[in-house]
Amino acid sequence: MTASASGPAPVTATYDRIGIGYRNVRRADPRLAALIHQSLGEARTVVNIGAGSGSYEPERAEVTAVDPSQVMLDQHPGSKKVLAGAEDLPFEDGAFDAAMAVMTVQHWSELRRGLDEMRRVSRRQVLFTFDPHHEPALWLIDEYLPELREFERARFTPLSTVAEALEAHTVLPFPIPHDFTDGFQIAYWRRPEHFLDPIVRQASSTFAQMPASVVEPAIERLRADLASGAWHRRHADLLERDSVDYGYRLLIAGR
């Protein structure tokens, strides 16, 4: 049953638009899932903030999914679902053993308030996010869409700021495997042809919020470079690598 709370986050409209069919592209990667589940420890009750369609939730725990988009919650397989934003969680203090948030803080309208709420309702916090200042950046940014750098730095708070606000005691790097199954933007660093698929791009909030007048010419340049072999010549070194650290980190706070 879905409960409702006032004041959903502004990201609602974006995910109401891109959320249809989201689960087909954004499939939980088992390696990231294992890291998240290990970090949640023995938590029996977990609130998943910005839950989306339910990726990375531990099967052994009782999970309450929170999301501001009804379209996303409708795809969530769980029975405990709450329509709400991270900044105003409708739960009592300490209601959960743990709180988790996966690739969602960039959408929160008030980051510090959301992190404070995360800490308020749980004794342990596990958060997966991205450092926008990490180098190297994805080749897509440097070679085709430099606009992405400014766009992502405007959305993502520097990792050090997030870690400090959350009072994280552990920060774990997560290099992205070449066959990463969760189709957000970085997943295809060694599979560039996937960026040509509009369905794949639609499942990325970054692409979904950028104007077509910017994205489409860049994709056409990529298409031409793939057809000519230019991309493969430039990135022969990447094709030999199993994973790359692109700045994705798991933060753990609390106890």
Domains of the chain (ranges; CATH) run 2-254 (3.40.50.150)
Question: In the prediction, which pLDDT does 170 show?
Answer: 98
pLDDT along the chain (255 residues), means of 10: 41 48 72 98 97 93 96 91 97 98 94 98 97 94 93 90 97 98 93 94 83 95 98 97 98 97
Asked whether the beta carbons of 250 and 174 are under 8 A apart, the reply is yes
Q: Are 96 and 124 in contact (CB under 8 A)?
A: no
Are residues 244 and 137 in contact, defined by beta-carbon separation less than 8 angstroms? no
Report the distance separating Cα 152 and Cα 185, nearest Å.
Answer: 11
pLDDT at 206: 81
* Mode of pairing for the β-strands spanning 45-49 and 96-102: parallel
Residue 37 CB neighbours (<10 A): 18
* Res 7: pLDDT: 35
Task: Pull the structure tokens for residue 97.
Answer: 């053993």
How big is the chain by its Cα radius of gyration, in Å?
A: 18
Query: Given this model, what pLDDT does residue 4 score?
Result: 42
* Cα dist from 221 to 29, 52, 80, 189, 233, whole Å: 29, 32, 45, 16, 15
User: What local confidence, expressed as pLDDT, does residue 25 receive?
Assistant: 61
What single-letter DSSP state applies at residue 240? Answer: G
